[in-house]
C-alpha cells in the first residue's frame, strides 16, 4: 500500500517548509521533526538527530521517512560528522529497528560537485557519474548514499537518494537555471520516490525539466516523476543581471558552482 504517514525531518528548513505546504495535497499525513520549533506547528517534534531515543520514537509507526534534516551548507568537518553522518546513521538505525521500509534521502548535487558541467554538445551528466564531492558537506551526502545502499543490501530498507539541484521558489542565479527544481516539481519527485515500487536503492537527479539542464533525469522519470516546470522564463532577466557563465571561471565550470571556490558556510 502507498505510504500515508510520513516523517519529515528538517521540517523547519527552507525545503521542509515548502514541502509541508504541498505534500498534504497528495494525501500524506506528515509528522514533523526539526532541531528548531516550527511556528504554528505545536505538534512538531523538536529533537536533535544526535538523540537516538528521540529519533527512534519519532520514526515509530510511520510508513516512510523524508530525510531533509542536517547541515545544508559547508561547515567544519566535526559539525558535519555529528549532524549529517552520525545523524543520518541514527535515523537509518531507528528505521530498521522500527520496521520502516522506505526513506527518501535528500542528497545533493554537491556529492558530485566537481563533475564538469556539460558545454556545447556534451552529453548530460549521468546518474552513475563517479562521486566527486566539492565540500565536507558534499562528502557527507556521499556517505548518506552509501549508508542507504548498505541498509538496502543488508536489511532490505529501501531508499531513493535525490541529488537535489536547487529547490527554491525561483532560480536566483544563472547556474540555477540549469539545476533548479521548482517546489511543485520537488513535491512531484518526493511523491514518486515514496510510491514507486521496488526501488531498492535508487539515485536520482532532482530538478525540473529545464531547457539548460546539465544532468540526466532518466532514473527520476523511471520512478514515475514527470516534471512540469522549466527555469527558462527566468533566464533573460538573470543573464542580463549576471552575464552568461564563463567556462574559464572555476566557479562556473563544474556542477557544484561556487561551492568549489567559495562555499556558503552554515551559520550555527
Which one from 92, 137, 151, 225 is the annotated catalytic residue? 137
Binding of ligand NAI by 34 (CB under 6 A): yes
Name which position in 84, 88, 108, 178 contacts ligand 15L (CB under 6 A): 108
Binding of ligand 15L by 178 (CB under 6 A): no
Widest pairwise Cα distance in the chain: 53
Least distance from C-beta 61 to ligand 15L, angstroms?
29
Please give the Cα distance from 125 to 244 (Å, whole number). 20
Exposure on the CB side of residue 243, measured as CA atoms within 13 A: 5
> How many residues bind ligand 15L, per CB under 6 A?
5
Q: What is the DSSP string of 200-237?
A: SEEEEEE----TT--B--HHHHHTT------SGGGHHH
Least distance from C-beta 210 to ligand NAI, angstroms?
14
Binding of ligand 15L by 72 (CB under 6 A): yes
Question: CB within 8 A of 26, min separation 6: which ones?
Answer: 187, 191
Name which position in 69, 103, 187, 189 contacts ligand NAI (CB under 6 A): 69
Q: DSSP class of residue 40?
A: T
Binding of ligand NAI by 87 (CB under 6 A): yes
| 137 noted as active-site residue | yes
Number of residues in the chain: 268
- Give residues in contact with ligand 15L (CB under 6 A): 72, 108-110, 166
Amino acid at each position: 500500500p502507498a505510504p500515508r504517514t510520513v516523517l519529515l525531518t528538517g521540517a523547519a528548513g527552507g525545503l521542509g517548509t515548502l514541502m509541508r505546504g504541498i505534500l498534504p495535497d497528495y494525501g500524506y499525513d506528515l509528522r514533523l521533526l526539526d532541531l528548531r520549533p516550527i511556528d504554528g506547528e505545536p505538534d512538531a517534534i523538536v529533537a536533535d538527530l544526535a538523540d537516538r531515543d528521540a529519533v527512534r520514537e519519532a520514526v515509530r509507526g510511520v510508513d516512510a521517512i523524508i530525510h531533509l534534516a542536517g547541515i545544508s551548507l559547508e561547515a567544519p568537518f566535526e559539525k558535519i560528522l555529528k549532524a549529517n553522518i552520525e545523524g543520518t546513521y541514527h535515523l537509518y538505525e531507528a528505521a530498521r529497528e522500527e520496521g520502516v521500509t522506505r526513506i527518501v534521502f535528500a542528497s545533493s548535487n554537491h556529492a558530485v560537485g566537481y563533475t564538469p558541467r556539460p558545454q556545447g554538445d556534451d552529453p548530460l551528466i549521468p546518474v552513475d557519474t563517479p562521486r566527486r564531492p566539492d565540500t565536507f558537506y558534499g562528502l557527507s551526502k556521499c556517505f548518506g548514499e552509501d549508508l542507504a545502499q548498505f541498509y538496502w543490501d543488508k536489511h532490505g530498507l529501501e531508499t531513493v537518494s535525490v541529488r537535489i539541484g536547487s529547490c527554491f521558489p525561483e532560480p536566483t542565479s544563472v547556474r540555477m537555471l540549469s539545476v533548479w527544481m521548482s517546489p511543485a516539481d520537488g513535491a512531484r519527485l518526493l511523491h514518486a520516490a515514496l510510491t514507486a515500487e521496488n526501488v531498492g536503492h535508487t539515485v536520482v537527479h532532482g530538478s525540473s525539466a529545464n531547457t539548460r539542464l546539465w544532468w540526466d533525469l532518466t532514473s527520476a522519470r523511471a520512478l514515475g516523476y514527470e516534471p512540469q516546470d522549466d527555469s527558462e522564463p527566468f533566464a533573460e532577466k538573470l543573464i542580463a543581471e549576471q552575464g552568461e557563465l564563463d567556462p574559464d571561471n572555476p566557479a562556473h565550470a563544474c556542477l557544484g558552482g561556487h561551492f568549489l571556490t567559495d562555499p556558503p558556510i552554515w551559520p550555527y
